[in-house]
Amino acid sequence: MIDLKDVNKYYKTGEESLHVLQDVNLTIDKGEFVAIMGPSGSGKSTLINLIGFIDRKFDGSYLFEGETMEKVSDKELSSLRNKNVGFVFQNFQLIENNTVYENIELPLLYGGKNFSQTSERVLEVAERVGLADKVKKHPKQLSGGQQQRVAIARAIVNDPKFIIADEPTGALDSHTSKEIMEVFQKLNKEGATIILVTHDPDTIKYCNRLIRIIDGKIIGDEVVAK
Ligand SMILES: Nc1ncnc2c1ncn2[C@@H]1O[C@H](COP(=O)(O)OP(=O)(O)OP(=O)(O)O)[C@@H](O)[C@H]1O
Ligand SMILES: [Mg+2]
């Protein structure tokens, strides 16, 4: 599904050029649950931003479902992103003034649905992440783990081709982290493709594959033993 070939990425600030991704070759298939680990500043977010159609300024090739990302316009890129990717972040990034229901509904509205067409789907995904009884609450009225479940529901509501989670358990205690990883694991067993950036070794066992990155280079790519 995702196929990066000889990808290099540079950040230029003034005179300096920082080589943040170096000769990255990476294939991710449908149904995989991939963990990406590496020190701070090693290029993990840069890599997933590129995979998630946020950034297209890089050298090398990105084939998504066999289609090249070269020559796509910014408009096409944002449409690819909306259609194909669900994002989950460390700090949840929910809209505080909206209810749980409205937070989950938003991507459907962006996708062109109108208000009368959303409720069945919103309630279905709320149920899948264990929030059926919380849809009328506001994010502030929820625990961190519950807020992250809202973010996961929002990420899957448009039925994306893959989910990118950038340290989704980084702000959670170990017990809540485990619960959130179990939500991801359940979604993966139901067919979701998930790319997880993590610093927490305890989260690896939920994944099928571990990629290690240092200084923008992939230095390890292994199956997670079960
Ligand atoms: N927009 C930018 N302009 C210039 N340099 C950047 C930019 N974004 C990131 N960098 C640099 O690129 C390198 C990789 O950053 P990146 O955010 O991908 O690291 P990371 O592995 O996600 O780190 P962390 O674990 O801290 O989130 C870092 O040295 C960072 O300072
Ligand atoms: Mg990062």
90 in Cβ contact with 170 (< 8 Å): yes
The contacts of residue 80 (CB under 8 Å, 6+ apart) are 53, 64, 72
Note the pLDDT of residue 225: 85
99 backbone dihedrals φ, ψ, rounded to 5°: -75, 170
Q: Closest residue (by CA) to atom 5 of ligand 1? A: 11
Q: Identify whether 42 is part of a domain.
A: yes
Considering the domain boundaries, does residue 97 fall inside one? Answer: yes
We report the CATH number of the domain holding residue 219 as: 3.40.50.300
Judge whether 76 lies within some domain: no
Tell whether 120 is covered by a domain. yes
Which of the four pLDDT bands, split at 50, 70 and 90, describes residue 102?
Answer: very high
Q: Each residue of 185-203: pLDDT tens digit?
A: 999 999 999 999 999 999 9
Cβ–Cβ under 8 Å, residues 120 and 98:
no
Number of domains in the chain: 1
Residue 164 amino acid letter = I
DSSP structural state of residue 32? -
- Residue 102 structural domain: 30-55+83-223
**In the chain, what percentage of residues exceed pLDDT 90?**
83
Residue 224 reports pLDDT greater than 90: yes
**Pocket residues: Cβ below 6 A from ligand 1:** 11, 13, 18, 20, 38, 40-46
SS3 content of the chain, % helix, strand, coil (to 5): 35, 30, 35
Q: Is the pLDDT of residue 209 over 80?
A: yes
Q: Pairing state of beta strands 209-214 and 33-37?
A: parallel
Cβ-based neighbours of 18, under 8 Å, separated by 6 or more: 10, 11, 12
Judge whether 90 and 167 are in contact, CB under 8 Å: yes
Q: Compute, in angstroms, the gap from residue 41 CA to the centroid of ligand 1.
A: 5
Residue-level pLDDT at 146: 96
For 104-153, what is each residue's pLDDT tens digit? Answer: 999 999 888 888 889 999 999 999 999 999 999 999 999 999 999 999 99
Output the residue whose Cα is nearest ligand 1's atom 4: 11
CA distance 3 to 72: 16
pLDDT at 175: 93
Lowest mean pLDDT among 46-50, 67-71, 210-214: 67-71
Is 97 a residue whose pLDDT tops 80? yes
